[in-house]
Chains A and B, each alone.
Chain A
Amino acid sequence: MAFADVREYTHLTDEEVEAIGRELDEIRAQVEAERGQADRDHVTRVITLQRRLAAAGRITLFASMFPPAWLLGTVMLGSAKILENMEIGHNTMHGQWDWMNDPEIHSSNWEWDTTQPAEQWKHSHNYIHHQFTNVLGHDNDIGYGILRMSRDQKWTPYNLGQPVYNALLALFFEWGVALHDLDIEAIRKGKKDPKLLKKQLKQIGDKVGKQAFKDYVMYPALSGPSFFHTLSANFTANIMRNVWSYMIIFCGHFPDGAVHFSEEELEDETRAEWYLRQMLGSANFEGGKLLHLMSGQLGYQIEHHLFPDLPSNRYADIAVKVKDICRRYDIPYTTGPLHKQYGQTLRTIMKLSLPNRRTTDNPAPVAPRKRRRLDDSERPTRRSELGKWSAAASA
């Protein structure tokens, strides 16, 4: 849909859209002005907790031939990996802590405990996904190039296998993420620059080698007689982290109510309209403090998409204000308990494995479109340049 349609859908006038933009800008300015010791304390406490958990988990696993030690060590290590990926790595690489001017916690040099190199993640996620959120043909996070997540994506018999691909993606999510920035679709179409491909493959190879060597060679070897137990524990911890992060991430944009957009959206998009697209395209989930911590505060996905570089510990407070804006302007604010949000996501994945004529309702609507549908040859390749106001938005 184009922006005229968004406004139709949300009953907003141009003036109201710009007014919402100003309100959101004010929220940002206020948080930026307030950032200080309490925010630093939050991230340093989480980092300390995560490193202690990881160390304790690794040490416990030296005795992994004893089942209780295996279980305890695996849970500690898996939790540490989840914390590192979600609350620490993801948020640091978004630049949420750059204001601290601390070289040890900074987006320019953070490397995380997963197989995807940070540099590639910063491009595929931080830039492409956050800039072109939910725009079909631009945002590769809609189904990760593996799943059909919108009725506007073309159905092929391949999609009949979605329930299986989905389960595999959940289990081996980090490997899916590792390949994400390669842009498999571009490779398939022969549009990928071979030099870039080679560079990226080398980066991934280096990172994967180090990660796998640590989890599947070094620590098992150090465990001596517990070699295979530690190996299976490390494998399990990685699967734990994979399934969890997969679920959290899929609940961010695929529950009912999160809208997809077409590329016309991007033409002449103003800052305020960008905000609106982020709000309508994202979905939250509800839960306690621990759940939010373990999900990197992505239960506040809407707030994260509005302000990807503000400190994550601020999202809960920001959410109150954003919800109020949505109420006052009668804009949908998609949220619900985690199990409900994931249930809807799963239902969409199952439904869209079938062609459109086999399904009646539309679980993940692309808001009404007046223009004719573009076919593949007309679709622009994924954008890689920046829009005119986007330095701040993508930072």
Chain B
Amino acid sequence: MTSAPIERTSVLRRIRQAGKALTTPLSPDDYLALVNPLWSQRELRGRVEKVVPETENAATLVIRPGWGWRFDHSPGQYIGIGVEIDGRFHWRSYSLSSAPLVEGKTVSITVKAMPEGFLSDHLVNGLEPGTIVRLASPQGDFVVPDPPPDRMLFLVGGSGITPVMSILRTLDRRGTLDDVVLIYSARFEEDMMFLQELRELSGRHEGFTFHERFTDVDGILAPEQLDDVCHDWMDRETWACGPAPMLDAFTDHFQRLGREDHLHVERFTLATAGTEGAGGSVTFGDGGPTVEVDGATTLLEAGEEAGVNMLFGCRMGICHTCDVPLAAGRVRDLRSGDEHGEPNEYIQTCISVAVGDCTLAL
């Protein structure tokens, strides 16, 4: 990660800085990692402790993070995970399913193997405990405020349960699971992750209502059916996570009723702000190729197209693997529409487009 994790104390920072004078051009961590791969902050790392099957095609990976990891993530956030397969690193993002600050200093993500998902299948079926993986710090704003609102509704489809699970476990631990409705759809019973734990949770908490919906039998939940399942949904703060068509349908529905401010949505695909950069001539490094790029093509895509070997990770602006310094010019962040143009400012090539001519320092 180019964005260095924040040191916990200034003493540690100073020691590391002094050590750097001895190990330049490497960092002290490059040598410490020879002793234990987790003793490095250069790249956040973790060791896979356990792989716990959840359903036939989903598993929870329990990961012990190495140095530089902060256990203060908010429930509902996701992390990046980089896994080496046949010599090559592949990055994906997954919601943390564990509650923050759990005992044992581990975090967990729950992964569902997708039919076409090359990496998810490997994570669920091929990852040996003991494997060292790369990690990216928790991110995302699909979070519940603390203290939580009085009445909450969670609309979940499929693997969208993972961030919600982290939220529910946290509410449970804090004893604030007072008036919460969960509507959770999966294709059939065996396909529903955390089913036993959720049933047990609703048994223990009178205020927690758990609606199980099996779409093979009941069909997909339409926004109009919301009144039947949760009559007071209009009074609730709502969090939704699941397949894109489901999220689109509920977003439209909430907008029509003027309640979009009370709907929090988590999408697993890149959502752009819809603003376009103007495009321009982009030069990839000193002596590198210069190509004309339009305002919709990301700098990463343009570079790959021009035959430049560029680092990439999640390709959706999370993991910062693709960060490079901007030598000249301006770029626009596709997600926020913000422009960046400070000399030598690090930009994320996977979500940035050119605003006029610019040069990347590769």
Contacts and interface: CB of A to CB of B under 8 A. Distances in A.
Contacts of B308: 391, 395
A127 B307 contact: no
Given A37-B87, A52-B34, A123 B286 contact: yes
B88 A99 contact: yes
Interface string A78-106: 00000000000000000100111111101
A7 interface: no
Nearest to B286: A123
A128 B287 contact: yes
Interface in A96-127: 98-104, 106-109, 111-113, 119, 122-123, 126-127
B312 interface: yes
A107 B309 contact: yes
A303 interface: no
Given A39-B87, A100-B89, A211 B43 contact: no
B287 A122 contact: yes
B88 A218 contact: no
B93 to A, nearest CB: 16
Contact of A101 (B24, B25, B88): B88
A80 B22 CA distance: 15
A214 B87 contact: no
A146 interface: no
Interface string B280-299: 00000111111000000000
Interface residues of B, number: 39
B31 interface: yes
Interface string B311-322: 111000000010
Interface string A31-64: 0000111111100000010011001001000000
B43 A104 contact: yes
29 contacts: A36-B86, A36-B87, A37-B86, A37-B87, A38-B87, A39-B87, A48-B34, A51-B26, A98-B309, A99-B87, A100-B88, A101-B88, A101-B311, A103-B1, A103-B43, A104-B30, A106-B311, A107-B309, A108-B309, A108-B324, A119-B361, A126-B287, A210-B21, A214-B21, A214-B22, A214-B24, A218-B22, A384-B287, A394-B287
B34 A99 contact: no
A51 to B, nearest CB: 6
Nearest to A196: B286
B18 to A, nearest CB: 9
A309 interface: yes
A392 B286 contact: no
B27 to A, nearest CB: 10
A391 B312 contact: no
Interface of B: 1-2, 21-26, 30-31, 34, 42-43, 84, 86-91, 134, 285-290, 306-313, 321, 324, 361-362
Interface residues of A, number: 49
A-B residue pairs, 3 tightest by C-beta: A40-B87, A98-B309, A111-B25
Given A103-B43, A210-B25, A309 B309 contact: yes
A227 interface: no
Contact of B90 (A38, A101, A104, A128): A101
Which secondary structure characterizes the binding site on chain B? loop
A119 B324 CA distance: 13
A386 B288 CA distance: 7
A213 interface: yes
B87 A103 contact: no
A246 interface: no
Contacts of A38: 87
Nearest to A96: B309
A390 B89 CA distance: 27
Contact of A119 (B86, B286, B312): B286
By CB atoms of chain A within 10 A, which of B22, B25, B307, B312 has the most? B25
Nearest to B289: A391
B309 A95 contact: yes
Contacts of B287: 122-123, 126-128, 384, 386, 394
A122 B86 contact: no
Contacts of B361: 119
Nearest to B290: A386
Given A35-B87, A101-B88, A103-B311, 8 more contacts: A99-B88, A103-B1, A103-B2, A108-B309, A112-B25, A210-B25, A211-B24, A218-B22
Contacts of B30: 51, 104
Nearest to B1: A103
A387 B130 CA distance: 48
